[in-house]
Amino acid sequence: MSDARTSAERDRWRGLPEWMRPRPVELPGSGRLRLIETTLLVLLGLLLAVATVNDVVRQTHVNHRLIADLTTWRSYTGRPYHNLSIEQELFGPASQHEVICGNTSPGAPKAKTQLCLVIYGPISGGRRTVHGGWYLPAKVEDVRADRYGCFGAASRGMCPR
Amino acid sequence: MSVATQGERGVARIRSEWWRPALLSLLALLLVLATGEIVLDGAAGRSPLIPKSPAIAGWLQGIGERLGYRVFLIAILGFAVAYGAMLLLTRGAGARAITKRWAIVLIVALHAIVFAGPILISTDVFSYIAYARMGVEHGINPYLHGPVAISRDPIFQYVGHDWRHVATAYGPLYTLFSYPFAPLGAKGALWAMKIIAQLASAGTLVLIWRCARARDLDPVWAILAVGANPLYVIYGVGGAHNDLLMLLLMMVAVSLTLRGRDAAAGAVVVAGALVKATVAALLPFMILSRRRLAPILGALAAVAAGAVVAYAAFGVHGVDIVAALNRDAAFVSTDSFATEIAHLFGKPGVFPVDHDLLKASLVLIALHLMWRTWRGYDWIAASGWTLLAISVTSTWLLAWYILWPLPLAVLTRDRRLVLATLALQALFLLHQTSPLFAPVQ
């Protein structure tokens, strides 16, 4: 910035108190502001790091549960299918109750009549317990109106009739 | 100390650092191999990481195997570690460690590998093409309807399920820019988008080089830090994201400011915001730093021109970018830091009150940075911090969003910004790793 411009700019802001006037470059100062900023940044970084690690651990536990649920569906139905859908929200996200749906005969995902199982409880021998379930016609999503043949305690009130 | 003694010490130091180029070559090889692994395995098809796409990488089929989460994560983590080590080894070492040609060859190789392969990770590019085809081929306003309005169009099957009913949130300048590619068909338009991503990346890196030199910073380190960044190469360029075009315009604005062309710089920031609104965050810092009327006038002229063009092309909905931003700000992704912190405190996710708290935090951070810029802090660094704060406080975080501050971070003397940006990227990658410990199949 030229001296003439610097001087003109200084004149322009002369009415402001010193602490409010703009500067072309920062004064070296005592470094107190930088120290405060850096401390806040480090604390925020720590919070984000802890939150990230916590989430990875949480997701890993969820994955272990889902692996057990998929194994349970396959052993319960005797079908070794891989294209199964998993619903974790139906009974509440914190319930750890999962609904696993899959075809009852070979075909593309949701192309055949589907069997949905409500699975929860602790993992034992790589599986969890089936507490009920229902059937769905082909090519529909899992909504109450389309469910039929509900069975087991967990499916009480889940079918339309 | 005599000149002869200094010379002997210099020779001894160079001799004692013979390992540095060898190690850097090894690290570069690792980057190329990791990128090659992802691209070749991705080209094999049937991967959950590769979106359904017109066949553009068929000639690479049969070389790799189906890309699973485990291989992808090992490759990208290897890439990230090698990249981090490379930056450490070259930081401050200048031409002793790495030549300009060496850095350019590496960056070109990484870009070429990604260019040859399929679209990686994201379906966004198909949304760009779908919006263009809606306007050009079907006469439907993409600011009023989602791609579902052209469900019989060949591109529709490739649009991500979550976006089929969503009208475009991109700026009218980008939408108009994409229109000429619509008649090329799904495959032709996809190649066009890939070429645009490559050209935008090349332009961004050239401008980073020039700006780094203008600010007396190491330009080789600067382009290496951006052009060989794992998120930039794999997610950004690999997904042909329009964020690269936004970054190019951002760098044009920075470059113009450094050359004293303030009015043009203000206008280009607005042009960038008419591609993707985020880049508008630079404008207040540019104005506060320059303290001249020129950037304001340039920006106002661009806003007026942009509004007229957007209104003529898309009606009132093309002008109302704020409504689109408000809609997108309500989205929540599992990768956002806000969601992670909610989980840490035992909440199932982000609630509406959290959105308000995050917005308030962002405003406070921006005000603090504006005050500091007024009192002489580097406006480029302040803009970078703001873009970083937008990523951290956003409830909808995607990998390419954490790229936004990186070109600015490598152009400042405040090392905290580049460290914070890279640390955030590292945390993002770490958050992807749960399938390594428990792969669901």
Beta-carbon separation of A60 and B438 below 8 A? yes
d(CA B27, CA B135): 46
Q: Name B189's Cβ contacts closer than 8 Å, sequence gap at least 6.
A: B129, B132, B133, B155, B181, B182
Beta-carbon separation of A67 and B343 below 8 A? no
CA A152 to chain centre: 29
Q: Enter the tokens of residue B101.
A: 């040609």
Continuous segment of H or E residues that includes residue A38: helix A32-77
Put simply, whether A94 touches B (Cβ < 8 Å) is yes
Put simply, whether B431 touches A (Cβ < 8 Å) is yes
Q: At A139, is the secondary structure helix, strand, or coil?
A: coil
Beta-carbon separation of B431 and A47 below 8 A? no
Beta-carbon separation of A26 and B376 below 8 A? yes
Q: Name the residue facing B344 among A9, A51, A94 (closest C-beta).
A: A51
Find tokens 């998993």 and name the residue: A86
- Residue with the bigger pLDDT between A5 and A113: it is A113
- List the A148-151 sheet strands across, edge first: A85-87, A98-103, A114-124, A127-136, A148-151
Put simply, whether B420 touches A (Cβ < 8 Å) is yes
Q: Name the residue facing B434 among A44, A51, A63 (closest C-beta).
A: A63
d(CA A59, CA A64): 9
Q: Write down the pLDDT at residue B391.
A: 95
d(CA B143, CA B313): 10
Span A9-33, pLDDT tens digits: 777 888 888 888 888 888 877 688 9
- Give how far A91 is from chain B: nearest CA, Å: 13
d(CA B349, CA B338): 8
d(CA B159, CA B148): 9
* Chain A residues touching B424 at Cβ < 8 A: 48
Specify whether the CB–CB gap between B155 and B146 falls below 8 A: no
Q: Write down the pLDDT at residue B96.
A: 63
Q: Name the residue facing B376 among A23, A59, A63 (closest C-beta).
A: A23
* Chain B residues touching A9 at Cβ < 8 A: 291
CA B94 to chain centre: 26
d(CA B363, CA B356): 11
d(CA B332, CA B349): 9
* Chain A residues touching B337 at Cβ < 8 A: 48, 51-52
CA closest to A26 among chain B residues: B376
CB atoms within 10 A of CB A17: 6
Span B174-218, pLDDT tens digits: 999 999 999 999 999 999 999 999 999 999 999 999 999 999 999
Q: Name the residue facing A55 among B288, B343, B423 (closest C-beta).
A: B343
CB atoms within 10 A of CB B245: 24
Q: Write down the pLDDT at residue A25.
A: 84
d(CA B144, CA B383): 32
- Give how far A161 is from chain B: nearest CA, Å: 32
**C-alpha dihedral sign at B116, B219, A23, B261:** negative
Find tokens 């974790």 and name the residue: A88
* Res A107 pLDDT > 90: no
* Res A1 pLDDT > 70: no
CB atoms within 10 A of CB B67: 25
Put simply, whether B291 touches A (Cβ < 8 Å) is yes
Q: Write down the pLDDT at residue A68.
A: 94
Beta-carbon separation of A22 and B440 below 8 A? no
CB atoms within 10 A of CB B369: 23
Put simply, whether B379 touches A (Cβ < 8 Å) is no
Number of CB pairs, chain A paired with chain B, less than 8 A apart: 80
Specify whether the CB–CB gap between B287 and B258 falls below 8 A: no
Pairing of strands A114-124, A127-136: antiparallel
Put simply, whether B16 touches A (Cβ < 8 Å) is no
Q: Write down the pLDDT at residue A92.
A: 79
Q: Write down the pLDDT at residue B257.
A: 97
Find tokens 């109450």 and name the residue: A144
- Residue with the bigger pLDDT between B95 and A105: it is A105
8-state DSSP, B227: H
Q: List chain B residues with pLDDT less than 50.
A: none
Q: Write down the pLDDT at residue B318.
A: 83
Beta-carbon separation of A51 and B340 below 8 A? yes
CA B401 to chain centre: 6
Continuous segment of H or E residues that includes residue A99: strand A98-103
Put simply, whether A45 touches B (Cβ < 8 Å) is yes
Beta-carbon separation of A63 and B374 below 8 A? no
CA closest to A89 among chain B residues: B348
Specify whether the CB–CB gap between B41 and B65 falls below 8 A: yes
Q: Name the residue facing B340 among A55, A60, A93 (closest C-beta).
A: A55
* Chain A residues touching B343 at Cβ < 8 A: 51, 54-55, 58
Put simply, whether B361 touches A (Cβ < 8 Å) is no
Q: Name the residue facing B416 among A41, A51, A54 (closest C-beta).
A: A41
d(CA B203, CA A5): 33
**C-alpha dihedral sign at B103, B109, B115, B118:** negative
- Residue with the bigger pLDDT between B278 and A82: it is B278
* Chain A residues touching B341 at Cβ < 8 A: 47-48, 51
CA closest to B385 among chain A residues: A41
Residue by residue, DSSP assigns B394-421 as -SS--GGGGGTTHHHHTT-S-HHHHHHH
Specify whether the CB–CB gap between B38 and B67 falls below 8 A: yes
Residue length of chain A: 161
Q: Write down the pLDDT at residue B7.
A: 58
d(CA B184, CA B217): 42
Beta-carbon separation of B341 and A93 below 8 A? no
Specify whether the CB–CB gap between B153 and B267 falls below 8 A: no
Put simply, whether A6 touches B (Cβ < 8 Å) is no
